[in-house]
Chains A and B, each alone.
Chain A
Amino acid sequence: MGGTFDTAVENAWCPGCGNFPILSAVKKALESTGKARHEIVLVSGIGQAAKLPHHVDVNVFNGLHGRALPAALAIKMASPRLTVVVTSGDGDIYGEGGNHFIHAIRRNPDIALFVHDNQVYGLTKGQPSPTSDIGWTGSLQATGVISGPFPPLAVAIALGCGFVARSLAQDVELTAELMRQAIAHRGFALVDILQPCVTFNRKNTYQWYGKMAYRVPEDHDPSDRRKAFELSLSWDERIPVGVLYRKEGRPTFEEVHPGVGDPPLHARDTPGEAVLAMIRKRLLSP
């Protein structure tokens, strides 16, 4: 690879893991933005996928399991000029962080979210994730998963997310391109990436995803929300990849939040006269 964003941090992923091509795609996409290292922040939670930021030479905030989005939102609020990208697992974002996922979309910050969706908890060794298929047997569900899967793209479209796409880990070109578009989109953008876990998921393999996935038809109009919603729910027969839904124009959280903007919070001072004015408001004078 030898890209400008390489780090020397030792990698802890299993050989052959779908996280590797996703990492290549992230670097490609970030390089295509033309931004310097210091202008980008990668935020993640906890899990195998969440270790990705350590392998990209940019600012990194690797926080708690499920809590990447609140931290990312605040970083964006504090310094809106930073390019904030969240990259984490399906367990992290849809499971532990499900509440934050919903509210991040509602707020619509200019953040791109890349979910490594391997339908399994990798780091904790093989439990089902919210996106596991019914019947899948995990280490804690010997008789198979009984709850219906969480449909991330449908939920995102339902909540009004302005950029909703799905990709396939092994298709680095497509993944990088969708990531590039997600970063360029003004507002919250989701790219759910079908990621094989070669150790714990014997069902959703490279071959399986390769067989199931197909490019969203050329004639699909991504601004057609109804059609996008329909596509987002297609899973059992074939799985569409590409941009399912795109709608520009919804104001971003940073644009509508009255306090967010320049200068960034770290550069704002606390003038004594303003402090005095705050205190004086409570003064009862004759």
Chain B
Amino acid sequence: MGIDVNIRIAGGAGQGIHTAGNLVSRIAVSAGHHFHATQDYMSRIRGGRNSYTVRVADAPVRAGSERADILLALDPAHLPHLLPAVNPSGLAFSDLPPGDAPGGVLAVPLKEMAISAGSPILANVVGAGIVLRVLGVPVEAADRLLALDFRGDFLEKNRKAIRLGAEWAEGRVSGRYPLPEAAFHPRLIVSGNEALAMGAVAGGCKFAAGYPMTPGSGVLHGLSVDGPPLGLVFEQAEDEIAALNMAIGASYAGARAMVATSGGGFALMVEALSLAGMLETPVVVVLGMRPGPATGMPTRTGQEELAFAISAGHGEFPRLVLSPGSVEEAYALAHHAMESAEAHQVPCILLSDQYLADTVVDADPDDFPVLPVRRRIVRGPDVPRNGEGRYLRYALTDDGISPMAVPGEAGITVVADSDEHAEDGHITEDHASRIRTVEKRARKEAGLAAETLPPLLSGPPDGEAVLFGFGSTKGVIAEAREILARDGVRVAAVHLRQVWPFPSEQIDAIVSRYGTAFTVENNRNGQLARLIRAETGRRVAGTVARFDGLPFTPESLAGEVKERIWAERSTRR
């Protein structure tokens, strides 16, 4: 990457860092560049210490960076915390009286300029004006974007604020991190949570329910905004238990259905997840992970629920568990989840996390295709009936999938029961029938496994080391691998988009081709490493773990991987 500038805008909740970050991101795209934005926020509504980091580059970026080239600290009280991460050659700005600025910080009268633009709340926009000039971007570029968000008098004030910031920067710092002119390409601006909701809606989701819990709430928001124009019905449930029971009810009535939550909410849903397994109702659950146990760190990231997701629920039943690693994959896998859950009549879990949820990037519109929605409901003359003219919801079939009709279909009734049931759906305690029904449900495992999305391998096909990750670490591992390659350490990276059914054969074959293998996980226990061992019998050397609540970054991950490989080499000797 020629251009790689990391801009951090920090302040308290309510100071508008999101608006400023958003503006800077879109300006980068308008100038023909690319960005990756990550958010770091505390669990509060006002105050606290939050930041919005925009990494701008001349190629698509898929990971954040800890180091900041440009820091805009709206609240100077945060400087001691923020300054250590600023590059030695970087620029830091804060709202301070000129004499009070610590070394390396430029004092800017942000508030004062905001007031002269018309409102003290525009300090963030003044700051954005400064960032623009640091990047050498003319303020006019911002005008059109501001006009998309604001109207009338307030638009004028915003324009004025941007200009005051830019004028201040003129001569002082303008063009210090110049963005060269580049050809503009239309790009989508999408977050992980938005992409999950869009994928579900594009996949024919018609019912969604949920009870807010970070980071699942963002998906619910997306569904409630994007869904209704496409016929989706959204309901805020009284709790997570109700939410999944509602989704299952809607699915019984023939609607593709989804819920979204986080670990604690998912824990409440588990009984109903098992109900979906028993009733064979397709349903999709977005599990946005955050550090636990219990309420954990509500606004931070973690990957502590892999083992929980693949085993949640009482009793044995087939399921699909997918783990998107990018916004593009979030869209594609949410669609796939809708299709697959219905095709196999199983629950499907989409494992996301706060990092992916709140990541915003510019994406190629071609990576958000309109894909076909294939409904599998049987209707009218296609509804199979037995000798007595009855429809059997749980008819025993070779692949375990029974033709699914919905209530309201003339001449038939649809009977679904959480107790063990016979083919007609009615309760039975007959042991032989129980065996037949258990085997029927289990037969779906083979069908699901046959459609497993293979893990994605990048890097050398064999060699010294391979890194495994699932979900949101995809982009970070990919970039860490490139950094290592530049340093002469050749490693391969494997991203698992599907973690259940586990792609055992492929993983087994991959592990055997490398001298050593590590997993990279945002948890302490190395849940993926354990899974690989359990499902393939192969040992991985260990886990590069991060569980402080923050995402990995490429540079630090590369450094740690290097050390681990050296340590592994020396113990092998």
Q: Is the CB of A75 within 8 A of B190?
A: no
A277 touches B408 (CB 8 A): no
Q: Does A207 contact B (CB under 8 A)?
A: no
- Surface stretch bound by B, among A64-72, A143-151, A228-236: A64-72
Q: Which chain B residues border A67 with CB–CB below 8 Å?
A: 241-242, 245, 272
Instruction: Please tell me if the beta carbons of B239 and A99 are within 8 angstroms of each other in the complex.
Output: yes
Report the separation of the CA atoms of residues A22 and B418 in the bound assembly, to the nearest whole angstrom.
22
User: Which of A46, A58, A70, A258 has the most chain B CB within a 10 Å cutoff?
Assistant: A70
Residues of A within 8 A of B417 (CB): 54, 60, 62
Say yes or no: B418 contacts A38, CB within 8 Å: no
Please tell me if B4 contacts chain A, counting CB pairs below 8 Å: no
Q: Nearest residue in B to A279 (C-beta to C-beta)?
A: B368
Question: Once the chains bind, are B194 and A100 in contact (CB under 8 Å)?
Answer: no
Q: Mark A78-96, 1 if CB is under 8 A from B, else 0.
A: 1101100000000000000
Q: Contacting chain B: which of A152-160, A164-172, A192-200, A263-271?
A: A263-271
* Cβ of A110 to closest chain B Cβ, rounded Å: 15
A142 at the B interface (CB under 8 A): no
B242 touches A100 (CB 8 A): yes
In the complex, the answer to whether B410 meets A38 with C-beta atoms within 8 Å is: yes
- In the complex, whether B365 has a CB less than 8 A from a CB of chain A is yes
* Distance, CA A75 to CA B250, complexed state (A): 5
- Chain A hits for B26, CB < 8 A: 284
With A38-B407, A59-B413 known to touch, is A70 a contact of B189 (CB < 8 Å)?
no
Please state if B229 and A278 are interface contacts (CB–CB under 8 Å). Answer: yes
A54–B231 CB distance below 8 A: no
Q: Which of A39, A270, A271 has the most C-beta atoms of chain B within 10 angstroms of its own C-beta?
A: A270
Mask, B171-196, CB within 8 Å of A = 1, is 00000000000001011111000100
| Across-interface contacts of B426 in A (CB, < 8 A) | 7, 9, 54, 60
Contacts of A283 in B (CB 8 A): 186-188, 365
Check if A282 is an interface residue, CB within 8 A of chain B: yes
Query: Are A54 and B427 interface neighbours, CB within 8 A?
Result: yes
Closest to B205 in A: A270
A64 in contact with B427 (CB, 8 Å): no
Tell me whether B255 is interfacial, beta carbon within 8 Å.
yes
- In the complex, which of the residues B230, B250, B362 contacts A278, with contact meaning CB atoms closer than 8 Å? B230
Q: How far is the CB of A230 from chain B (nearest CB, A)?
A: 29
Which residues 403-425 in B have Cβ within 8 Å of A in the complex? 406-419, 425
Q: Is the interface of A mostly helix, strand, loop or mixed?
A: mixed
- The one of B206, B242, B406 in contact with A70, judged by C-beta atoms closer than 8 angstroms, is B242
Nearest chain B CB to A61's CB is how many angstroms away? 5
| Structural contact, B365 and A265, CB atoms closer than 8 A | no
Contact A259 B248 (CB under 8 A): no
A266 contact from B365, B406, B410, Cβ within 8 A? B406
In the assembled complex, B529 has its CB within 8 A of some CB on chain A: no
B413 and A57 form a contact (CB under 8 A): yes
CB pair B407–A75 under 8 Å, yes or no, is yes
- Asked if A275 and B249 sit within 8 Å, CB to CB, the answer is no
**A250 interface contact, C-beta 8 A:** no
Interface pair B253/A264, CB less than 8 Å apart? yes
Are A103 and B202 neighbours in the complex by a CB distance under 8 Å?
Answer: no
Query: With A and B bound together, what is the CA distance between A266 and B426 in angstroms?
Result: 24
B209 within 8 A of A: yes
Contact A74–B247 (Cβ < 8 Å):
yes
* A-chain residues with CB within 8 Å of residue B254 when the two chains form the complex: 78-79, 264-267
- CA separation between A256 and B134, bound complex, in Å? 52
* B29 CB-CB contact with A under 8 Å: yes
In the complex, chain A residues whose CB is within 8 Å of the CB of B416:
60-62
B480-503 to A contact mask, C-beta < 8 Å, 1/0: 000000000000000000000000
Q: How far is the CA of A38 from the CA of B411 in the complex (A)?
A: 6
Central interface residue in B248, B252, B373, by most chain A CB within 10 Å = B252
A286 touches B184 (CB 8 A): yes
The residue in chain B whose Cβ has the minimal distance to the Cβ of A253 is B235
Nearest-CB distance from B275 to chain A (Å)?
A: 5
Binary A-proximity of B200-241 (CB < 8 A = 1, otherwise 0): 011110110100000000000000001011111111011101
Is the CB–CB distance between B418 and A62 below 8 Å?
A: yes
A9 touches B427 (CB 8 A): yes
- CB pair A275–B230 under 8 Å, yes or no, is yes
Write out the residue numbers on chain A whose beta carbons fall within 8 Å of the beta carbon of B425. 60
Instruction: Report if B449 contacts A (CB, 8 A).
Output: no
Contact A103 B238 (CB under 8 A): yes
Q: Which residue of the partner chain B has the closest CB to A46? A: B418
The reply on B370 being an interface residue by CB < 8 A is yes
Count A/B pairs, Cβ under 8 Å: 203
A218-270 contacts to B (CB < 8 Å)? 257-260, 264-270
Q: Establish whether residues B234 and A259, one from each chain, have CB atoms under 8 Å apart when the complex forms.
A: yes
Q: Which of A61, A100, A286 contacts B252 (CB 8 A)?
A: A61
B429, closest chain A residue (CB): A12
Indicate if the CB atoms of B272 and A38 lie closer than 8 Å: no
A67 to B248 alpha-carbon distance, docked (Å): 11
Q: Kindly provide the distance from the CB of A145 to the nearest chain B CB, expressed in whole angstroms.
A: 26
Q: For the complex, is A73 an interface residue (Cβ under 8 Å from B)? A: yes
Least CB distance, A103 to chain B, in whole angstroms: 4
* CA of A279 to CA of B189, assembled, Å: 10
Question: Is B126 at the interface (CB under 8 A from chain A)?
Answer: no
Q: Are A286 and B249 in contact (CB under 8 A)?
A: no
Quote the shortest CB–CB distance from A3 to chain B (angstroms): 15
Q: How far is the CB of A235 from chain B (nearest CB, A)?
A: 28
Residue from A37, A265, A277 within 8 A of B231 (CB atoms): A265
**Contact (Cβ within 8 A) A284 B29:** yes
Let me know if A285 is at the binding interface, CB within 8 A. Answer: yes
A88 to chain B, nearest CB (A): 13
**Contacting pair A278 B413 (CB below 8 A):** no
Contact between chains at B246 and A74 (CB < 8 Å): yes
Contact flag A284-B362 (CB < 8 Å), given A62-B417, A74-B250 = yes
Question: Do A278 and B202 touch (CB < 8 A)?
Answer: yes
Cα A127 to Cα B233 with chains together (Å): 39
Residue of B233, B272, B373 with most partner-chain A CB within 10 A: B233
Is there contact, CB below 8 Å, between B246 and A278? no
A residues in contact with B233, CB < 8 Å: 77-78, 257, 259-260, 265
How far apart are the CA atoms of A266 and B378 in the complex, in Å? Answer: 11
| Bound complex: CA A274 to CA B230 (Å) | 7
Query: Which one of A7, A81, A276 contacts B408 once the chains associate, using CB atoms below 8 Å?
Result: A81
Interchain CB contact under 8 A, A36 and B228 = no
With both chains docked as a complex, state the minimum distance between the C-beta of B313 and any C-beta of chain A, in angstroms.
12
- Bound: A125/B290 CA distance, A: 41
Of B206, B226, B241, B370, the residue contacting A265 (CB under 8 A) is B206
Chain A residues 4 to 57 lying within 8 A of chain B, measured CB to CB, are 7, 9, 12, 36-39, 41, 43, 46, 51, 54, 57
**A99–B243 Cα gap in the complex (Å)?**
13
In the complex, the answer to whether A63 meets B407 with C-beta atoms within 8 Å is: no
Given A266-B377, A270-B202, verify A78-B271 contact (CB < 8 Å): no
Q: Which residues of B contact A276 (CB under 8 A)?
A: 370
A266 in contact with B228 given A60-B425, A74-B246, A99-B238 (CB within 8 Å): no
Chain B residues packing against A (C-beta within 8 Å): 26, 29-30, 184, 186-190, 194, 198, 201-204, 206-207, 209, 226, 228-235, 237-239, 241-243, 245-250, 252-255, 257, 271-272, 275, 279, 362, 365, 368, 370, 373, 377, 406-419, 425-427
Query: Could you name 6 residue pairs across A and B whose Cβ atoms are closer than 8 Å?
Result: A60-B413, A64-B275, A257-B235, A259-B228, A278-B201, A284-B362
4 new A-B contacts, CB < 8 A, other than A38-B411, A275-B370, are A54-B427, A64-B272, A70-B249, A282-B188
9 tightest A-B CB contacts, nearest first: A266-B254, A74-B249, A71-B249, A265-B255, A78-B253, A59-B407, A268-B231, A74-B246, A259-B233
